[in-house]
Structure 1
Amino acid sequence: MLRLSQPKTLEDESRQLPLLIKSVTDYAIYMLDPEGYICSWNPGGQRIKGYSAQEIIGEHFSRFYTPEDVAAGIPRNNLRAAAEHGGLSAEGWRVRKDGSRFLASIVIEPIWEEGDLIGFAKVTRDITERYAAQQRLEEAREALLQAQKMEAIGKLTLGLAHDFNNLLTVILNSLDVIAARTAGNDNIASPLKAAIRACDRGALLTRQLLTFGRGQDLLSQPTHLSELIRKSADLFERACADQVNLRFELSDNLPFVLVDRAQLEAAILNLVCNSRDALSGSGQIIVRTSAGLMNNPLRPDSEPSLHACAEVSDDGPGIPAELQAKVFDPFFTTKEVGKGSGLGLSQVFGLATQSGGFVQLVSSPGQGATFRIWLPAGMEKDDGEGSQDTVR
């Protein structure tokens, strides 16, 4: 193969390395003196960190570190570790000239001459985009695992609920026959009524399980969330203790959604009652509506689309992080025995998913809890002007 002659500038070995370093723009490559002051600078350094060579040469390299890292002595420790161990590779957050932060992959190599440390060679690469992509991938993986878990639980719950409902039907029919044959017998009437009430309670639990398992038939209608909540405001207020301050912040500028109104009212009531119980008698609950472009986390590949949101938030103790992944599981509850079936949030989850939406929980210890029911827009927006109404 014929080899073309090199340009004279490349034949000069003394110029090859500087030309190579100057041509690299994806990496910041520069030299430090033994104390950490910058002696050279390449175009990659300017592109990544924002400083020109005139601005940065002679400055200490610690200005690239975050204030908290500087206070902890990280720059000094990195140079010491590189000198003692023959080099250092690490990742960490760094600061650009404009104050923005980026995640950097760094390499520091000591330079020795006749046994004396005369400086360091430093290479920095911006890996922020790679880190963000990894975070998105991890979030998508967690969302997929959660969706698969809830789908499996839903199928199991649906089968159990149908079988239980069949048993209840037989029991209720039998009790009706007994009631008809023992009419007027006071000794039997009282326990019979108690048995019927227990069956009615079981039927309610079955409906909640069916809602979670998406086996409940929904009567979906075009609904404006703010209008529905206004009509139900008295119901929500009666559910709260006198010491609890219940506020409504309702937007008129919402898209209509297709949802079962009775089920949605029950879902919001469940959330209000849960917040009331978490407040232990005093505090504030806010019922709020809004709209926005959202991506359904249960379907990570879906495109963002217009959703309307019904939100219930409180200023209570919040939900510990280790419990947040379990709160929508059927029969999971942190309440005392006899004070909750553990199906309230399951019903909320089931309604949202069966309506094509999802539920979002935001909480941290001591900061209260916020539950958001996001439902996809089912019709065009109304002609509201986006005003905020507050109902007391």
Structure 2
Amino acid sequence: MIAAAILVPLGLFAFAAWESYTQRFEEAEQMIRRTVEVLSEHATRVLETQALILDRVDERVRGMTWSEIASSENLHRDLRMIDDKLDQVDTIWIIDGQARGRASSTFFPAPASSYVPDRDYFVALRQKDTGLFIGQPYPGRSNPDRMFFNMAKRRSTPDGSFDGVIVTSLQPDYFATFYRPFMASSRDSTAILRSDGAVLARGPAPLRQNAVLSPSSTFMQAIRAGDQGLYRTVSQVDGIERIYGFRRLASYPVYVTYGHSVDAILSQWHKDVALHGFVGLAGMLALLSISTVAMRRARHEQHVFARWRESEARYEALFRQSPTGLLLSRVREDGTFVFDEVNPALTRVLGVPPDRIVGRTPVEAFPGELGETIQDAYLRCVTRREPVEYEAAGEGPDGPFIRRVIVIPILDAQGRVQKLLGTSMSITETRQLEEQVRQMQKIEAVGQLTGGVAHDFNNLLMAVIGNLDLLRKRITGDPRAQRYLDGALQGAQRGAALTQRLLAFARKQDLQAKAVDVGGLVEGIRDLLERSLGPRVMIRYDLTPGLSPAMVDPNQLELALLNLAVNARDAMPMGGELTVQLTENQVMDGQVEGLQSGRYLCLRVSDTGTGMNEDTLKRAVEPFFSTKGVGKGTGLGLSMVYGLAAQSGGALRLSSVLGEGTTAELWLPITEAGLEAPSGVSAASPAAAPSTILVVDDDALILMSTVSMIDDLGHTAVEAGSGTAALEILRTGQPVDLLLTDYAMPGMTGLDLARAAQKLRPDLKILLATGYADLPEGSVLDIPRLPKPYTQDQLASAVGALLRPRPAGSNVIPLPGRRGSD
């Protein structure tokens, strides 16, 4: 019993190990045969393509003299076009009977140094017409580090005399790269060899020098026995033992080989032996009956494992293909087209099985515009008998796609187009990027337009507000007239607020940026937000405490947050939830569109409203674009937020799902500057002593209004309509205490005038009135600015601050902030 319990499991173990060994090698041989079949089919198509190229070039130059061939730039362009469209082709040459290159796909004209009397293809074809000649690999003359092998065809005169050759150069590295995905293990190898043993290409290591197998090598002995088969040998290149499969390419003296490492097969077998050994050991330690049960289980497990291996092989064969989409079509006798073959890469893009394409015409397989596009391209390709390029758009399982397709005609012996090979690659991302660039350019153009209009409107409002201010002082004791003036002034101020929003979108708004505790700012306007949104909207705050300050204008940030909240309220007519969230983030390059790497605060406002569709989302930040009813908004709220973000060095990001809600993210750069200590309300600047003020503006209305306000304040105003006129006044020596100049003037800007004035009078006080936020790059003058439009009170405050000593570092006259929302 003990002997039986030991011998029977050992016998079963030996039988299972031998059966597994045999099965593993049989599976490997089947895999090798399938792989060789795939590789030989690819190599055959490559060589057929080269043969077609040679025939086509021969037909192209038929009847041309060598002088015409050498001087034809159109011929060079045709050769270049064929060269560029096929990855495996390195160059195409036409060589005359004296071994000199007369035309090339690479050079025009062909260099005089192209002389190849020693090349094997030239020597062989000069002696006799051997048909298509495939030469040995050799290093290039201009690039010795790269190997090439040639395919050549003889040109003959009408009497059969030798008249040169047409030759194409192929890169062995192309085959090594293409075959690499087909290798089952890293120790496998592939090769393409001539029947005389010359190695044309091999992988995975690229070919770097000529190599020829000896007649006594195992490969040479094997091909003498047949056109295809298997043999086992140790490689003379790397010393690895492999089982090789080989197959001759139809009608070519060329063989494709694929070698699978014996170590890889034995490694799988060792795993099987380990499994059977475990079962055998268990059987030796158990009774005979238990050993029998264990053996049955081992057989069952072996069968399941074999089925899993077969399933895995089918899966790998399906997906282990080139990523380039390939579609082979046949031209029928009636001139219509039918698809013969389609590769898995293309079916994955299209989202249809091969049987929905193979055997059908373009219109049948792809109903609609896509089928008509393919049909039209095929007709043009057949008519011209040259490659045709077009773009095809459609809908696949991953969404819409756009692919660039090149259709190459395949001619028969009579020169008729017999088949069409279509290759396609995705350009969807390229088109999407182009659309994004167009949208950004559109927004930039709108910003430039609105900025210019707003600046001109600012000047008009300057004259209106200034004169209304003066008129209100002159009318007293008439309540009705006073009410009319107040209404006019309020309308002008609302117009000024409108221009501020336009300038914010155009990034030309005058901002008072400082270090701001954004979380504290949000807390400070909670009551205002809740009153603005009403009882139907529940506000949820998620503000991370202790965050770094951001560099932004606090007044404009409050206005931006209020605009976002009001927009959210209008999107929730039946009520809903508004979430205000504040986080600190480290942004890397490319992580958030429009932002450089650095630390940012993200103020996120989300609602549960109606949301926006894709078209509305694209136009959301355009000035005056609004989906609200008439009288319910100006369409400038999001434009103002967009301009504030961009001008502050941040970004505005909008996302929305129709029917679910919208999220607006305002990204603001973090600053290392400390927060300003809160200060009490400062007293108004006392009136300055009567002074002489030189007022410079090219706009007569603004000049008249400003002069009137200064005179009314008790000062003496001196007028100048240009920078040149102002300098003439200063040169006369007339006393001037303050220079008040507009910035944007033709000829000489306010900055140019300030520089020239300081040279004439270094102690002269200067005040720059402008509606622009930023001075040009390179402006280093510390000149206080007065934002337009301004009232008489604001002008008096600015003049009073300048004609008395003021703290260093302040170059903008502070004005009361304006608030408003859509």
Provide the TM-score with structure 1 as the length reference.
0.68
Q: Where in structure 2 are the equivalents of 1:271-286 lying within 5 Å? A: 271-286=564-579
Closer, same or farther: CA 59–140 of 1 in aligned 2, 3 Å: closer
Closer, same or farther: CA 223–366 of 1 in aligned 2, 3 Å: same
State which drifts further: 340-349 or 146-155: 146-155
Q: Where does the alignment leave 5 or more consecutive residues of structure 1 unmatched?
A: 25-50, 95-124, 383-392
Closer, same or farther: CA 192–92 of 1 in aligned 2, 3 Å: closer
Name the SS for the 1:82 alignment partner. coil
Contact 1:328 1:345 in 2 (8 A): yes
Closer, same or farther: CA 225–182 of 1 in aligned 2, 3 Å: closer
Name the SS for the 1:308 alignment partner. strand
- What is the match of residue 158 of structure 1? 451
1:62-88 Cα offsets, whole Å, 9 max, x none, are 999xxxx99xx943xx235324569x9
Residue 291 of structure 1: CA displacement?
Answer: 3.0
- Counterpart among 259, 262, 265 of residue 552 in structure 2: 259
Residue 82 (structure 1) aligned with residue 82 (structure 2): no
Closer, same or farther: CA 246–21 of 1 in aligned 2, 3 Å: farther
Residue 162 of structure 1: CA displacement?
Answer: 1.3
Closer, same or farther: CA 181–190 of 1 in aligned 2, 3 Å: same
Closer, same or farther: CA 9–83 of 1 in aligned 2, 3 Å: farther
CA distance in 2, matches of 1:173, 1:59: 81
Closer, same or farther: CA 222–9 of 1 in aligned 2, 3 Å: farther
**Alignment-mate amino acid for residue 219 of structure 2:** T
Residue 332 of structure 1: CA displacement?
Answer: 1.1
- What is the match of residue 653 of structure 2? 360
Once the two structures are aligned, what percentage of the paired residues are identical? 32
Closer, same or farther: CA 249–55 of 1 in aligned 2, 3 Å: same
- What is the match of residue 9 of structure 1? 219
- Counterpart among 212, 227, 234 of residue 505 in structure 2: 212
Residue 322 of structure 1: CA displacement?
Answer: 0.9
CA distance in 2, matches of 1:142, 1:206: 30
Contact 1:143 1:300 in 2 (8 A): no
- Counterpart among 332, 338, 354 of residue 625 in structure 2: 332
Residue 143 of structure 1: CA displacement?
Answer: 3.5
Q: Where in structure 2 are the equivalents of 1:143-292 lying within 5 Å? A: 143-252=436-545, 254-292=547-585
Closer, same or farther: CA 344–302 of 1 in aligned 2, 3 Å: closer
- Counterpart among 580, 588, 601 of residue 308 in structure 1: 601
What count of residue pairs does the alignment treat as equivalent? 315
CA distance in 1, matches of 2:256, 2:543: 62
Q: Where does the alignment leave 5 or more consecutive residues of structure 2 unmatched?
A: 1-119, 121-135, 137-197, 199-210, 229-244, 249-254, 261-306, 321-346, 367-393, 399-422, 676-822
Residue 160 of structure 1: CA displacement?
Answer: 1.1
1:341-387 Cα offsets, whole Å, 9 max, x none, are 111111100000001111111101101111110123333999xxxxx
**Alignment-mate amino acid for residue 309 of structure 1:** C
Residue 52 of structure 1: CA displacement?
Answer: 8.4
1:182-203 Cα offsets, whole Å, 9 max, x none, are 2112342222221111011111
**Alignment-mate amino acid for residue 248 of structure 1:** Y
Name the SS for the 2:601 alignment partner. strand
Contact 1:294 1:306 in 2 (8 A): yes
CA distance in 2, matches of 1:298, 1:207: 31
Name the SS for the 2:571 alignment partner. helix
CA distance in 2, matches of 1:283, 1:148: 36
CA distance in 2, matches of 1:21, 1:328: 62
Closer, same or farther: CA 5–291 of 1 in aligned 2, 3 Å: same
Residue 159 of structure 1: CA displacement?
Answer: 1.2
CA distance in 1, matches of 2:449, 2:621: 15
- Counterpart among 296, 299, 312 of residue 56 in structure 1: 312
Closer, same or farther: CA 80–193 of 1 in aligned 2, 3 Å: closer
**Alignment-mate amino acid for residue 180 of structure 1:** K
CA distance in 2, matches of 1:167, 1:17: 87
Contact 2:502 2:623 in 1 (8 A): yes
Contact 2:515 2:674 in 1 (8 A): no
Closer, same or farther: CA 302–246 of 1 in aligned 2, 3 Å: closer
- What is the match of residue 36 of structure 1? none
Contact 2:590 2:596 in 1 (8 A): no
CA distance in 1, matches of 2:314, 2:480: 99
Closer, same or farther: CA 149–82 of 1 in aligned 2, 3 Å: same
- Counterpart among 362, 368, 371 of residue 664 in structure 2: 371
Closer, same or farther: CA 353–187 of 1 in aligned 2, 3 Å: same
Residue 219 of structure 1: CA displacement?
Answer: 1.5
Closer, same or farther: CA 84–257 of 1 in aligned 2, 3 Å: same
Closer, same or farther: CA 163–53 of 1 in aligned 2, 3 Å: same
CA distance in 2, matches of 1:285, 1:301: 26
Structure 1 vs Structure 2 CA RMSD: 4.3
CA distance in 2, matches of 1:8, 1:287: 77
Contact 1:298 1:358 in 2 (8 A): no
Closer, same or farther: CA 246–224 of 1 in aligned 2, 3 Å: same
- What is the match of residue 318 of structure 1? 611
1:297-355 Cα offsets, whole Å, 9 max, x none, are 89968654332100111101101211111111111111122211111111100000001
Residue 225 of structure 1: CA displacement?
Answer: 2.5
